[in-house]
Structure 1
């Protein structure tokens, strides 16, 4: 295709952060410094890297980053107690529990323990319910990033057929709801879907959220379709075969530099939103 659009997430993230600077500055002059608490359990190297990246991104904008690193041997009860303490802390505006936690911990219980007002990563079932109903303050950050990129590039959603490949509670399901609330017709596919390639071929918008490298094939993509690749696999590889999908796509996100940077920017935005809301309610 001639006028292919490469959806540059780095550019979108930079614009979001630029808008946040002024808001953070305004909050700070009023005596409120937005604060994100990140909770890391265990020694998973990629999780540690993600937490560090998020912390650094906070600090660059003047957002406080409160980092809590817990032992891999911690019990669910101890983790819940840590989250309850953060819920009670007046100076903490957002709480992020880095996924995954060690297998002996009840991760869902830990997510559910996060106060809805501080659920800036959109991981609670209450937050998901609000997002589905169209009034959630903090949708999961990757789905929110996908919508932000489409809005930045004026990609039409209303009336389009969106096919979401993946149904995880913090990606596939919430992005399906966000698209549905914007008047797309949404088909959510997963590992049991039959004739997946035929369904994807009908899509005006494809969201690749399956967690498998190069899973979405180039010949599955309809001419001119929009491909939003939310995958991030070892070696900086997305869930869509970029080189092949790009041939048919009208617009596509690269990996890296697509959805990833905007996901972090949305986390920062939600933290600032939460700090502003807290100040208003004082």
Structure 2
């Protein structure tokens, strides 16, 4: 609800300046206080849900789809394709994920679209590795042998029979990855490589308040708390989906 209709819950516009209320602490008029421009922190945190949940979805949907597709093909084919994929995985996991994303964003330039591209370029590998491992297990089972004996094409065996039984770990990881994407998006926003000011994004808000931690702690603390609570929510949803899919299997 907060992400879809933030104006229903936010008492002020996120970019509304009030120079008569600079750096005011939490009060009845401003629940989370105001920042150095007099903007209502509570309203900015609420409106940031829209941007950060967009980051959670758009930054992970492409890696999920691409990684699942590639992992299914590699896991079923094996051989030289698996060897080549293994070398790609080795290169990616050698470097910290955040460092690779920052490097790509630095080349492309700051902004949300380039951040999505950077995460997609790097993130698909982890989904592909997960799905490939599951497909390798499923392809040795009797029902896969039965499909081959009946003359089914490899694509039908992979995407109609093997993948539905192998995709559960990828879906669970996707939920967790959404929480990590919000954290990553906030980190890049804090560094000036993600959402750009004056956008209402949690990382940008934390960066706005970093110089006022001793005098106006609320500018950074409340957006940081929103990141923690949202990440916890995605983790709980992921656990629930995992349990539901485990029961169905």
TM-score (norm 1): 0.25
Q: Which has the larger radius of gyration?
A: 2
More strand by share: 1
TM-score normalised according to structure 2 size: 0.28
Higher helix share: 2
